[in-house]
């Protein structure tokens, strides 16, 4: 058998030439075959990548805004032109169907396009004559070397939530992508290089906790943007801030879709199936709980069940497949264990995905779409983030009970309400403790010129990802107070300066 493809770091504008002490397997989830081996960085490789980024920062921070936007526009064009190629790389290692991988890249393009406007976004303020012939102005400066640590479920989009703004603001980046689907990151690094980004401005460091800890403790790393599960997000936030870094750490989710009695139930059922099973439920904005209010439960569950039976599950490269496999065998088995746990806990298994017909190789990491009814908050089905194609329906008697349920949940990433009552929708958007809200829209991922982020255990830190918050995160403000052309400055005066 041929040696598996080697996937290694990208440091200082080229593939890393060293020999790794450790490496991990990368699989094709639709066949179950090992597709590659990815190098895992040791501390010495962390140091090498950070040193390359620090050297590059010395000149990149002085690059003109025109130089930066030239690179960003060129990168945007290349990404758009090569999106099919990149989507194929994503599908081969993640498993999501090609069309879905294409959607991920389309949303990533929005973040790049936003950063193309960086000259406008970096404008400071200016106040003339705050005191006699004294002017005050503010400028935004880059942090320095920043680390971006990303999860497996959006191997192209999540790195691109951060890289464009970070680079546009004059920072240099060390990206640590997920070890489960690492190839998209290298492809992106090559595209940036082709777009004219100087060596060392973007580096890709592969690996696991060793690489992450290396970045969290490295004194030259000034900021960390993390996306992943809540326990790791909390750890990254606490460790990074304890080491004096600016950190934004986006965590896991349990997204509720509330369906009021007056909702269009066909629309709601379509939305629940699309948002519950798209990407096999491996989205931080996936709907994992449908909250059926009042009498809608029976009809809604029936409508969701009908739609599930028609879903085509299989190899994401085959035309017509709507849902692919799970990312690894271990993750598939973990998700399946929740199906067993739900049955044991007494929830009603309305659709058992374990029997779903599969259009793919026998050894792929398959689990069909599964629907549970009469789920209660104390069940692990409800309490845990499953991150797979398992949708729970919780029945509640009233709007107030739905609100209480969602607000009591520790996660607060996304939520949706389905209703034809504008007043109820407005009340929900006002009262709900969740960062992103959809009204008759199940996956309310903000467009690239807003920012993305949850509340509570879904985000540690105070800035959201991409958009205006991204510019804020990747810059420090400096305020200058200056006096010119005033020889009569008043002489020695030890009093606190007064602006009169
Ligand atoms: P994960 O937390 O296992 O891994 C995320 C990153 O952290 C990876 O790069 C991984 O190598 C690293 N990592 C893993 N364990 C670590 C440890 N103990 N110490 C240091 N680093 C560690 O997450 P995942 O399974 O790759 O991704 C799925 C999770 O990400 C889900 O919980 C999902 O909700 C979340 N997610 C959140 C958002 C959001 O915007 N809030 C977006 C996408 C995914």
Say yes or no: CB of residue 253 within 6 Å of ligand 1.
yes
Give the atom of ligand 1 at the shortest distance from the alpha carbon of 253. Answer: 34
Domain ranges in the chain?
Answer: 5-251+458-479, 255-439
**What does the pLDDT look like over 257-268, one tens digit per residue?**
999 999 999 999
C-beta neighbour count of 448 within 10 angstroms: 22
CA of 450 to the centre of ligand 1 (A): 23
pLDDT given at position 487: 64
270: buried, middle or exposed (CB in 10 Å: 19+, 13-18, 0-12)? middle
Which residues are catalytic, by number?
Answer: 284
Specify the residue for token string 């790393």.
221
CATH code at 5-251+458-479: 3.40.605.10
Residue ranges, the chain, pLDDT below 70: 1-2, 487-489
Closest protein CA for atom 30 of ligand 1: 228
Side-chain-side CA neighbours of residue 305 (13 Å): 14
* Model pLDDT, residue 498: 80
User: 228, 240, 387: which to mutate for ligand 1, most atoms within 8 A of CB?
Assistant: 228
Instruction: Give 92-123 pLDDT, tens digit per residue.
Output: 999 999 999 999 999 999 999 999 999 999 99
The CA–CA distances, whole Å, from 121 to 110, 115, 126, 230, 401 equal 15, 8, 15, 31, 43
Residue of 111, 151, 253, 451 with the most ligand 1 atoms within 8 Å of its CB, for mutation: 151
- Spatial contact of 174 and 203, defined as CB atoms under 8 Å apart: yes
Domain 255-439, CATH class in plain words: alpha beta
Which among 210, 176, 198 is positioned nearest to 42, based on CA atoms? 210
Return the number of other C-beta atoms located less than 10 Å from residue 288's C-beta. 25
pLDDT of residue 488: 64
Determine the pLDDT at residue 132: 87
Taking the C-alpha atoms of residue 380 and residue 391, their distance in angstroms, rounded to an integer, is 13
Q: Which protein residue has the closest C-alpha to ligand 1 atom 20?
A: 209
| Ligand 1, atom 43: closest residue by C-alpha | 284
251 ligand 1 Cβ < 6 A = yes
* Interval between CA 177 and ligand 1 midpoint (Å): 10
């Amino acid at each position: 058998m041929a040696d598996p493809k080697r996937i290694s770091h990208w440091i200082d504008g080229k593939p890393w030439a060293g020999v790794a002490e450790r490496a991990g397997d990368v699989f094709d989830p639709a066949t179950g075959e090992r597709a590659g081996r990815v190098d895992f960085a040791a501390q010495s490789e962390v140091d090498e990548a950070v040193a390359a980024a620090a050297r590059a920062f010395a000149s990149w921070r002085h690059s003109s805004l025109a130089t930066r936007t030239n690179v960003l526009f060129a990168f945007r064009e290349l990404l758009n032109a090569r999106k099919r190629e990149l989507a194929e790389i994503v599908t081969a290692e993640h498993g999501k169907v090609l069309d879905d991988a294409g959607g991920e890249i389309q949303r990533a393009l929005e973040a790049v396009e936003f950063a193309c406007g960086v000259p406008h976004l970096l404008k400071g303020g200016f106040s003339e004559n705050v005191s006699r012939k004294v002017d005050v102005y503010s400028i935004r400066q880059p942090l320095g070397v920043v680390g971006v640590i990303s999860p497996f479920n959006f191997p192209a989009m999540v790195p691109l939530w951060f890289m464009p703004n970070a680079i546009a603001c004059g920072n240099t980046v060390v990206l640590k992508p997920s070890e489960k689907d690492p190839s998209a990151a290298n492809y992106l690094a090559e595209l940036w290089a082709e777009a004219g980004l100087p060596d060392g401005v973007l580096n890709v460091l592969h690996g696991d906790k060793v690489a992450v800890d290396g970045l969290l403790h490295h004194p030259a790393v000034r900021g960390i943007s993390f996306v992943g599960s809540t326990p790791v997000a909390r750890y990254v936030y606490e460790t990074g801030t304890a080491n004096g870094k600016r950190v934004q750490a986006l965590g896991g989710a349990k997204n509720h879709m509330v369906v009021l009695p007056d909702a269009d139930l066909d629309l709601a059922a379509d939305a629940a199936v699309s948002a519950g099973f798209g990407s096999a439920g491996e989205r931080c904005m996936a709907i994992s709980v449908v909250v059926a209010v009042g009498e809608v439960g029976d009809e809604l569950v029936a409508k969701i069940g009908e739609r599930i039976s028609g879903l085509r599950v299989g190899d994401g490269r085959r035309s017509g497949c709507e849902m692919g496999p799970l990312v690894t065998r271990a993750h598939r088995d973990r998700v399946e264990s929740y199906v067993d746990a739900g049955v044991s806990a007494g929830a009603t298994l309305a659709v058992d995905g374990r029997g779903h017909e599969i259009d793919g190789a026998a050894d792929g990491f398959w689990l069909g779409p599964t629907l549970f009814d009469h789920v209660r908050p104390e069940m692990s089905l409800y309490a845990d983030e499953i991150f797979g194609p398992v949708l729970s329906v919780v029945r509640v008697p009233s709007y107030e009970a739905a609100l209480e349920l969602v607000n009591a949940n520790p996660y607060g990433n996304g939520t949706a309400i389905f209703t034809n009552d504008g007043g109820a929708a407005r009340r929900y958007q006002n009262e709900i403790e969740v960062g992103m809200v959809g009204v008759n829209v199940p996956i309310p991922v903000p467009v690239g010129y807003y920012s993305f982020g949850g509340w509570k255990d879904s985000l540690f830190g105070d800035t959201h990802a991409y958009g205006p918050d991204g510019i804020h995160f990747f810059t420090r403000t400096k305020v200058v107070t200056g006096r010119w052309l005033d020889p009569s400055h008043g002489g020695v005066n030890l009093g606190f300066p007064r602006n009169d």
